[in-house]
Structure formats: C-alpha cells, structure tokens
Amino acid sequence: MARRIPEGPPPPPAVQKLRIRYAKRGRLRFSSTRDFARALERALRRSGVPMAFSAGFHPHPKISYANAAPTGTASEAEYFEISVTERVDPQALRRALDDALPPDLDVVEVVEAGPGSLAERLEASVWHLEMRQVAHETLTYAVERFLAVDHVEVTRTFKTGPRTFDVRSAVVSMVATESEDPFCAILTMVVRHTTPSVRPDDILTALHAVSDLRPPVPPLVTRLAQGPLLAAAAGVADPLAADKDAVVP
C-alpha cells in the first residue's frame, strides 16, 4: 500500500530555539512531567507564542524536556527547549509564560539557545532534603556510614520489571547539617546523572541499608540546581552559561 502524504503546505520552519528554566514549588511538586506538558501547551497558546510544529498527520509543538525531577519533588532547576517560527524577545517570553502558567510553576529564566546540547550539560544535580523529626546526630551517622562504603545496591521496579543497581558511585558528595528546627536535619548531596538515574528515594533506601535510618515522615525534597559537574565536588555550574556567552546572530 502506498504511503499517504499529508495534504497542504509544510509547517513554517523554526527560526529560533529557546532554553527555559522553571521552578516547581509548593503543591505543584506533585505534578508530573505530563501534567506540566499540558499546562505548558495551554500557556503557550494563551501567550500567543509562534510555536514551530512538526510535520506529518499529527503535528505537535517542538518542545523537548530535559531530565525532569521525579513526581513529588520540588525543583528550582527544571529545563525545556522550544522552537519558534518568529524571533521573540526572551525576556518578554519569560514574563508572558510566567503569567500564563499556574502559581508555583514559575518561569525563572529564558535564553536563546547557542551551540551544543543542553541535555549533555546536565551532568549532576544538587539535592536538598529536609529530614523532619530526624536528629542531626542520627543523620550524620547515616551519612558517615554511607560515605565509608564503595558500593550500595538498591532495587527499583521499572516498566520492564525490577532492577538492582549501585547507588554509591553516583553520589559525588553528601553533607548533613543542622537546621533552625532542632527536630529537622538537612541532607545536601550532589548526585551524578547515571543510567538508570539515581533518585533521592534510592539514596534514602541506601542510607537505611547501611545505617537503619528510618525517617518518621517523608522528607521534603528539592532539587536546587543541575548542570555541568564542577571539580572537587563543589557542586554544579549553570547549564545556560554557554548560551548567555554565545553570540547568536
């Protein structure tokens, strides 16, 4: 059977690509990537953004998402890219999208994409966990036990079934600190992006395995940043820095 060809002219070509950082805060930390995608497409339509679309029988807006945080975690550093058919001012787009999105889904920064891949720059994440009803001494002991070993395996169920993998090798640094609340300790860690991805809940499972740490209530988890991994486990760099420095015609 001959392949059908869509009728009509091809969609207008993309003339500009934009990279966008947004934050997922408050109750919206429970929104999934699919939830955000639906909200974003509505916001793009309301804002009148001249989106580029794919060709074919079922055209869709040219949007790509990069390493979204797990559902249930807040984030200050989520990223996606969009392509448009007319050049737009990044700051005007940031304001329009931020106004059109629901509260607690906040557009933080928009830059014009320079050369290179955004996804390849996202090498590691900085995670901040508020361990409520956990004493600082208890968390410090768990961190010391975790860092003292070279290998800790956990098992997580994927679409293809259970899979066991090492967590310790992905953790670049881990620090326990006190908070103003004496009944809350803070866990900060830099985690390298791996395949499969090592999530904060995987690390909590590993901490339990090596130290029997049992938080009475689930911690509040926030991704503070993600980007190129800095030397000496100092954290991560701004993944959009190269775009800001690039000369875009």
pTM over 0.75: yes
Q: Is the domain defined by 121-233 classed in CATH 3.30.70?
A: yes
Query: pLDDT at position 180, please?
Result: 86
Q: How many CB atoms are located within 10 Å of the residue 210 CB?
A: 18
Q: Residue 52, Cα to own-chain centre: how many angstroms?
A: 24
**Domain-wise residue ranges, the chain:** 16-113, 121-233
pLDDT truncated to tens, each residue of the chain (249 aa)? 455 655 667 888 999 999 999 999 999 999 999 999 999 999 999 999 999 998 877 788 999 999 999 999 999 999 999 999 999 999 999 999 999 999 999 999 999 999 999 999 999 999 999 999 999 999 999 999 999 999 999 999 998 999 999 999 999 999 999 998 888 999 999 999 999 999 999 999 999 999 999 999 999 999 999 999 998 767 999 999 999 987 555
Q: What is the pLDDT of residue 9?
A: 75
List, in sequence order, the alpha helices (H) in 14-152: 33-47, 90-100, 118-121, 136-147
Domain 16-113 matching CATH 3.90.320.10: the answer reads no
The pLDDT value given to residue 110: 97
Buried b (16+ CB within 10 A) or exposed e, 18-37: bbbbbbbeeebbebeeeebb
Cα–Cα distance measured from residue 191 to residue 82, given in angstroms and rounded to the nearest whole number: 27
Domains 16-113 and 121-233 share a fold: yes
Q: Tens digits of per-residue pLDDT, 170-227? A: 999 999 999 988 889 999 999 999 999 999 999 999 999 999 999 999 999 999 999 9
Tell me how many degrees the CA angle 75-77-83 measures, rounded to the nearest 5: 125
Give the pLDDT confidence score for residue 177 in this predicted structure: 96
pLDDT at 248: 55
* Helix pair angle (200-211, 136-147), 10° resolution: 90
